[in-house]
């Protein structure tokens, strides 16, 4: 069969090393105009612009001029079912869940509704340059099918899982320890590694699971250790107090997961703001993943993630919108708020660090960095093309730039979907 070939060129941002590593040298990060050769959705090579590859004869070169081509954004923690309730006013976490989230999630027992919102969510994400996300679905298996099917239509690499809850939620939104185990296992067997889909075992958070349910899901994870397990951890102070009351024997919040087999290297813990020293030590010992959700943490009033400390440990740190607690589908906006949150803690994140978090950092946190999150031979051609002068306010600032980072930073701080000149999934322009 003939192979699908494409060539695109522009200024390429790729990483050999994390800009958070101690010996990182910014001058080693070259952003030159280059040509990317793609075969069947996989990057074949990255070459100088005058390079001619005889295997690609007669293939049109798509030249993006001075636009910046990056790996597509990886949003490492979202709730696609909350798409329609984004920007809901005036509540903090537990009230926000009860007032806005749970009533909306109840609607996902209907496959048609779930499919409509999943398709809408995927479209919003792609138009913002996000090519991979890890999404919580609802307790309904239909919501999981809808998510993976909508992503498969676009051939996207995604992570998803049935959210499990068997207490402290409306009756219609509760499963049980047994049905959570059975349904999660059936969905995992149906979707994990089907095309570009990855299943994540998904207890919502310990307040909405009984010890029996946490134990059942811990046992499922031990049967399928190659899967990710995603949940929430230490997002809000009131939530932590509640966890203490619900689990009086636990040493801390993390212990409510560890006791039931839900702590591990493939554990992906969202928010992780108010961590105690023991929790950070244990998470580091196992090499877990923490996901920073800055727009959500400011919007719901949760707190300021400690980027400086947590990136200095043996942890993987990713970045996420946390739709619909987060207030934007854009990973540019998410990077902007990550910058502002770090500033409030006395740290100025460099644009290279922000871009790394939104691509390779998140891909590593999801254990997908062998496929996505960077521009390199063998990686999927999931790409975002950024116009660094997408609006008058941005272009008048970037015109003054002395280097590419200064040119990029106004787009990070002020950019939105107008900055997305193109999104590619597996080599195909969407």
- Going by their DSSP bridges, the two strands 383-386 and 420-425 should be labelled as antiparallel
Among 37, 124, 148, 205, binds ligand GUN (CB under 6 A): 205
Which residue, 234 or 330, has its beta carbon nearer to ligand GUN? 234
Which residue, 75 or 235, has its beta carbon nearer to ligand GUN? 235
Which residue, 192 or 204, has its beta carbon nearer to ligand GUN? 204
CB of 236 to ligand GUN, least distance (A): 8
Hunting for tokens 């996989």 — which residue is that? 42
Give the three-class secondary structure for 242.
helix
Residue ranges in 223-282 that form contacts with ligand GUN under rule CB under 6 A: 232, 235
For residue 69, the cross-strand partners are: 12, 385
Residue 412's binding partner, choosing from ligand GUN, Zn ion, none, with beta-carbon cut-off 5 to 8 A by kind? none
Q: Of all residues in this chain, which one has the CB nearest to ligand GUN in the complex?
A: 325
Which residue, 160 or 270, has its beta carbon nearer to Zn ion? 270
Residue 204 binds ligand GUN, judged by CB under 6 A: yes
Which residue, 10 or 270, has its beta carbon nearer to Zn ion? 270
CB of 77 to ligand GUN, least distance (A): 9
Residue 318's binding partner, choosing from Zn ion, ligand GUN, none, with beta-carbon cut-off 5 to 8 A by kind? none
Total residues contacting ligand GUN by CB under 6 A comes to 12
Q: Pinpoint the alpha helices (H) of 224-321.
A: 237-246, 253-258, 277-286, 294-299, 307-310
Residue 79 binds ligand GUN, judged by CB under 6 A: yes
What backbone torsions phi and psi does residue 279 show, to the nearest 5 degrees?
-65, -45
Task: Look up residue 392 and give its DSSP letter.
Answer: H
CB of 297 to ligand GUN, least distance (A): 8
| Burial call 301-333: b when 16+ CB within 10 Å, e when fewer | ebbbbbbeebbeeebbbbbbbbbbbbbbbbbbb
Residue 296's binding partner, choosing from Zn ion, ligand GUN, none, with beta-carbon cut-off 5 to 8 A by kind? ligand GUN
Contact range with ligand GUN by CB under 6 A, out of 93-101, 248-256, 375-383, 388-396: 93-101
C-alpha triplet 367, 278, 368: angle, nearest 5°: 5
Residue 204's binding partner, choosing from Zn ion, ligand GUN, none, with beta-carbon cut-off 5 to 8 A by kind? ligand GUN
**Residue window 315-344: x/- pattern of binding to ligand GUN, with contact defined by CB under 6 A:** -------x--x-------------------
Angstrom CA distances, 222 to 139, 183, 227, stand at: 21, 16, 9
- The residue among 69, 158, 72, 87 whose CA lies nearest residue 122 is 158
Which residue, 101 or 352, has its beta carbon nearer to ligand GUN? 101
The two structure tokens encoding residue 84: 């329609």
Which string of DSSP letters, residue by residue, matches 335-380?
Answer: HHHHHHHHHHTT----HHHHHHIIIIIHHHHTT-TTTSSS-STTSB
Q: Which residues bind ligand GUN (CB under 6 A)?
A: 79, 93, 97, 101, 204-205, 232, 235, 296, 300, 322, 325
Q: Which residues bind Zn ion (CB under 5 A)?
A: 270, 322
């Amino acid at each position: 069969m003939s192979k699908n070939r494409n060539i695109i060129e522009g200024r390429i941002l790729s990483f050999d090393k994390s800009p958070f590593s101690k010996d990182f040298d910014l001058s080693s990060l070259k952003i030159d105009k280059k040509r990317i050769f793609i075969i069947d959705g996989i990057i074949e090579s990255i070459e100088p612009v005058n390079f001619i590859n005889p295997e690609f004869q007669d293939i049109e070169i798509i030249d993006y001029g001075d636009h910046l081509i990056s790996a597509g954004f990886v949003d490492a923690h979202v709730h696609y079912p909350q798409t329609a309730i984004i920007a809901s006013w005036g509540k903090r976490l537990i009230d926000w869940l009860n007032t806005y989230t749970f009533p909306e999630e109840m609607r996902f027992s209907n496959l048609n509704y779930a499919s409509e919102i999943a398709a809408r969510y995927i479209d919003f994400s792609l138009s913002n340059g996000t090519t991979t996300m890890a999404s919580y679905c609802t307790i309904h298996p239909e919501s999981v099918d809808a998510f993976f099917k909508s992503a498969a239509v676009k051939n996207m690499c995604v992570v998803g899982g049935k959210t499990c809850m068997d207490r402290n939620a409306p009756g219609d939104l509760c499963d049980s320890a047994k049905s959570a185990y059975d349904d999660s296992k059936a969905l995992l067997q149906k979707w994990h590694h089907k095309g570009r889909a990855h299943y994540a075992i998904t207890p919502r958070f310990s307040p909405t699971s009984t010890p029996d349910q946490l134990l059942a899901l811990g046992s499922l994870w031990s049967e399928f250790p190659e899967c990710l397990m995603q949940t929430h951890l230490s997002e809000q102070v009131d939530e932590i107090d509640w966890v203490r009351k619900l689990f009086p024997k636990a040493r801390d919040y993390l212990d409510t997961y560890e006791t039931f087999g839900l702590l591990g290297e493939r554990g992906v813990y969202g928010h992780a703001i108010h961590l105690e020293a023991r929790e950070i030590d244990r998470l580091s010992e196992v090499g877990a993943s923490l996901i920073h959700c800055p727009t959500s943490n400011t919007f719901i009033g949760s707190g300021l993630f400690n980027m400086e400390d947590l990136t200095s440990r043996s942890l993987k740190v990713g970045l996420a919108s946390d739709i619909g607690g987060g207030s934007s589908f854009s990973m540019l906006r998410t990077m902007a708020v990550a910058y502002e949150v770090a500033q409030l803690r006395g740290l100025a994140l460099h644009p290279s660090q922000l871009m790394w978090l939104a691509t390779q950092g998140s891909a590593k946190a999801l254990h997908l960095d062998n496929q996505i999150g960077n521009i390199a031979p063998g990686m999927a051609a999931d790409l975002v093309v950024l116009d660094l002068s997408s609006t008058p306010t941005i272009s008048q600032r970037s015109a003054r730039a002395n280097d590419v980072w200064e040119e990029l930073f106004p787009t990070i701080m002020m950019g939105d979907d107008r900055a997305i000149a193109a999104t590619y999934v597996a080599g195909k322009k969407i």
